[in-house]
Amino acid sequence: MSRLLTVLLAFAVILLSIFGVFEQRTLGFQRDFGASVPVVKTATPRKTVESFDVLADALAANLARYALNKDAQTYARILRLVDELVSLIDLSSIPQAYVRDYGVHTLVALLAIRERMTRFDLTSVPDQTGTLLSEDDEFLLDATPIALVRITNGPREGEYLFKESTIDVAPRFLRELRGSEYDETAQDWRAVFYGFTGPWFPAGFNEAIPAPLDTVLLGTPIWKILLSVLSGGLAFLAVQQAQVQLQTWRDRERISKITARLSKTLIAVSGLLVVGYFLHFQLHVSGVFAGVLYLLLEAVWVLALATLFWFGSIAAIEALSSARSLSLEGSLVQLLSRVIAFVGVVWILAYGAQTLGFPLLSVLAGLGIGGIAAALAIRPTLENLIGGLVLYLDRPIRVGDFCQFGPHMGTVERIGVRSTQVRALDRTLIKVPNSSFSNMELINWAQCDQMMIDLTVSLRYETDTDQLRYVLASIRRMAHAHPRIDNNSIRIRLSDFGPSSLDIAVRIYAKTREWNDYFAIREDVLLRIKQIVENAGTSFAFPSSTLYLSKDAGLDAQKREAASSSVKGWRRSRNLPFPNFSAEMRKSFEDTLRYPPGGSPDDDGPDVEVDTVEEPLSAPRVTVEQEETKT
Report d(CA 620, CA 627) in Å as an integer. Answer: 12
Count CB neighbours of 264 within 10 A: 18
Report d(CA 6, CA 16) in Å as an integer. Answer: 15
How far is residue 40 from each of residues 25, 48, 86, 349, 473, measured CA to CA in Å? 22, 8, 11, 36, 110
Peptide bond connecting 433 to the previous residue in cis, omega within 30 degrees of 0: no
Which residues face 490 on adjacent strands? none
SS3 for 548-602 is CCCCCCCCCHHHHHHHHHHHHHHHHCCCCCCCCCCHHHHHHHCCCCCCCCCCCCC
For the chain, give percent helix, strand, coil, nearest 5. 55, 10, 35
The residue among 595, 22, 505 whose CA lies nearest residue 302 is 22
Can you give the length of the chain in residues?
Answer: 631
Q: Which of 70-84, 164-178, 266-280, 327-341 has the lowest mean pLDDT?
A: 327-341
Tally of domains in the chain: 5
Instruction: Write phi, then psi, for 139 (nearest 5 degrees).
Output: -140, 130
Question: 567-614 pLDDT, tens per residue?
Answer: 888 888 888 777 777 888 778 877 777 767 777 777 776 665 555 444
Please report whether residue 540 resides in a domain: no
On whether both 164 and 259 belong to a single domain, the answer is no
How far is residue 427 from each of residues 24, 328, 392, 399, 422, measured CA to CA in Å? 54, 22, 26, 16, 9
Instruction: Write phi, then psi, for 85 (nearest 5 degrees).
Output: -65, -45
Find out whether 481 and 445 touch, Cβ atoms under 8 Å: no
Q: State yes or no: pLDDT of 239 exceeds 90.
A: no
Please report whether residue 153 resides in a domain: yes
In this prediction, residue 624 carries a pLDDT of 47
In this prediction, residue 359 carries a pLDDT of 65
Instruction: Write phi, then psi, for 273 (nearest 5 degrees).
Output: -65, -40
Please report whether residue 546 resides in a domain: no
In this prediction, residue 615 carries a pLDDT of 47
On whether both 328 and 315 belong to a single domain, the answer is yes
In this prediction, residue 178 carries a pLDDT of 64
In this prediction, residue 506 carries a pLDDT of 95
Question: 471-492 pLDDT, tens per residue?
Answer: 999 999 999 999 999 988 899 9
Peptide bond connecting 126 to the previous residue in cis, omega within 30 degrees of 0: no
Q: State yes or no: pLDDT of 63 exceeds 70.
A: yes
Mean pLDDT, residues 91-108 taken together = 78
**In the chain, what is the straight-line distance between the N-terminal and C-terminal CA atoms, in Å?**
102
Find out whether 90 and 151 touch, Cβ atoms under 8 Å: yes
On whether both 117 and 161 belong to a single domain, the answer is yes
On whether both 337 and 240 belong to a single domain, the answer is yes
Report d(CA 297, CA 274) in Å as an integer. Answer: 12
Please report whether residue 201 resides in a domain: no
The residue among 439, 442, 420, 440 whose CA lies nearest residue 431 is 420
Instruction: State the amino acid at position 424 in one-letter form.
Output: A
Question: 12-33 pLDDT, tens per residue?
Answer: 555 555 555 445 444 344 444 4
CB half-sphere exposure, 421, CA atoms < 13 A: 10
How far is residue 20 from each of residues 10, 258, 308, 348, 580, measured CA to CA in Å? 15, 21, 10, 10, 95
On whether both 257 and 310 belong to a single domain, the answer is yes
On whether both 357 and 401 belong to a single domain, the answer is no
The 8-class DSSP code of residue 13 comes to H
On whether both 36 and 185 belong to a single domain, the answer is yes
On whether both 499 and 358 belong to a single domain, the answer is no
Mean pLDDT, residues 200-223 taken together = 79
**Confidence grade of residue 504 (pLDDT, cut at 50, 70, 90):** very high
On whether both 144 and 100 belong to a single domain, the answer is yes
Please report whether residue 483 resides in a domain: yes
On whether both 65 and 141 belong to a single domain, the answer is yes
Pick the last residue of a domain from 425, 446, 467: 446
On whether both 492 and 417 belong to a single domain, the answer is no
Report d(CA 340, CA 568) in Å as an integer. Answer: 92
Find out whether 159 and 151 touch, Cβ atoms under 8 Å: yes
Q: State yes or no: pLDDT of 618 exceeds 50.
A: no
On whether both 46 and 184 belong to a single domain, the answer is yes
Give the residue, 258 or 510, on which the prediction is more confident: 510
We report the CATH number of the domain holding residue 390 as 2.30.30.60
Please report whether residue 208 resides in a domain: no
Mean pLDDT, residues 617-630 taken together = 50
The residue among 171, 183, 56, 163 whose CA lies nearest residue 109 is 171
In this prediction, residue 566 carries a pLDDT of 83
Question: 523-559 pLDDT, tens per residue?
Answer: 999 999 999 999 998 999 988 776 666 666 666 778 7
Give the residue, 565 or 446, on which the prediction is more confident: 565
Q: How many helices (H) and strands (E) does the chain have?
A: 18, 13
Please report whether residue 551 resides in a domain: no
Q: Which of 115-119, 192-196, 438-442, 568-572 has the lowest mean pLDDT?
A: 115-119
Domain containing residue 475: 450-535
Find out whether 505 and 495 touch, Cβ atoms under 8 Å: yes
Q: Which of 98-107, 267-276, 366-375, 511-520 has the lowest mean pLDDT?
A: 366-375
Pick the last residue of a domain from 359, 377, 395: 377
Please report whether residue 547 resides in a domain: no
Pick the last residue of a domain from 319, 346, 377: 377
**Confidence grade of residue 128 (pLDDT, cut at 50, 70, 90):** low
C-alpha 91 chain-centroid distance: 42
In the chain, how long is the greatest CA-to-CA distance?
A: 164
